[in-house]
Amino acid sequence: MIFDIAIILINYNSSKHTINCIQSIVDNTSEKLNYQIIITDNCSRKEDYLALKEFCESISLPNLELHRSNINTGFGGGNMNGIQYANSKYYAFINNDTLLLNDCLSILKNTLDNDPSIGIAGGQSHKENGDFMISLDHFTSPLKEIVGRDFLEFINPKKYPKRKKRHTTPIQVSFVPGSFMFLRAADFNEIGGFDTNIFLYYEETDLCLRLKKIGKHACLVPDAKFIHLHGASTEQMPMAIKKEIKMSLLYVIRKHYGFFGHKIVLTHLIIKYFFSSIFKPKNWPLFFLILGGAHISNSLKSKQTITTL
């Protein structure tokens, strides 16, 4: 059976979020849509996995599947595991800490149905209290890393639409956040899906850059509304996650902007974090990682172990 949409979720020690996300999908999605939900459990603790398994067995949702991985494969890897079980025209990659506020899936599907030039679409995200949350961004590049987003938006507002503006109509953007990504299975398959060398962060940037190379752009569709519960800034993140962000950033820069682009950004980050570490000594570990090249081989991915139940 071919479904309209395969919804791919990843669970990692957060079964309560996953359960609430599934419930929001069921409550808000039109009965006219034929969809399947595929969950990859990314090697959660036994009690968390079993709680999710019990829920999946109790809910009357025949097209819901739960598959456990005995190793944490990260964001891209977990989603790639999920699509192995998908059979649909569209893929919706949704973070499990997301709650749909309306029939997002129908809205996004209709948008792509009516415009073949759109390769990927996302909706307008909100904080838990309903406040506006930024739902678009500009491609990482040597220029962006050095001059910043605000300057790019000032010098070329058409190419770089304002992130902090509340857009009311669909708008072409560089990329949409990874919390909710909707795209054709055919386009996703053509570009090879997620790059599983990336463990966490910048997966959506890399995906949209590769879609752009086949002539497909990203689109923010404000009418599709959802809540994203965890929008913490890097200042609130543990050092291991901050390191992961920089490793993924430099990997994507090297992949898409080549040797010299990578060296420009690396040098910029070395200088930036040397001076910031003088005033914020907690940043020294990040500086030394970048000084050593922040190679992807240092990723948390290389520290995963196989855990069976």
Check pLDDT > 60 for residue 232: no
Decide: residue 264, CB within 10 A, 0-12 exposed, 13-18 middle, 19+ buried.
Answer: middle
Mean pLDDT throughout 169-190? 97
Check pLDDT > 80 for residue 138: yes
Mean pLDDT throughout 262-268? 97
pLDDT of amino acid 140: 94
In this structure, whether the domain defined by 3-228 belongs to CATH 3.90.550.10 is answered with yes
User: Structure pTM?
Assistant: 0.94
Confidence of residue 237 (pLDDT cuts 50, 70, 90): low
State the average pLDDT for the chain.
94
Instruction: Tell me the per-residue pLDDT of 71-93, one tens digit each, with 9 for 90 and over.
Output: 999 999 999 999 999 999 999 99
Instruction: Tell me the per-residue pLDDT of 22-67, one tens digit each, with 9 for 90 and over.
Output: 999 999 999 999 999 999 999 999 999 999 999 999 998 989 999 9
Locate the domains of the chain by residue range: 3-228, 234-302
Mean pLDDT throughout 221-248? 80
Check pLDDT > 90 for residue 210: yes
> 3-state DSSP helix/strand/coil percent for the chain, to nearest 5?
45, 20, 35
Mean pLDDT throughout 146-154? 95
Measured distance between the N- and C-terminal CA atoms of the chain, rounded to whole angstroms: 32
Task: Say which residues have a Cβ less than 8 Å from residue 110's Cβ, sequence separation at least 6.
Answer: none
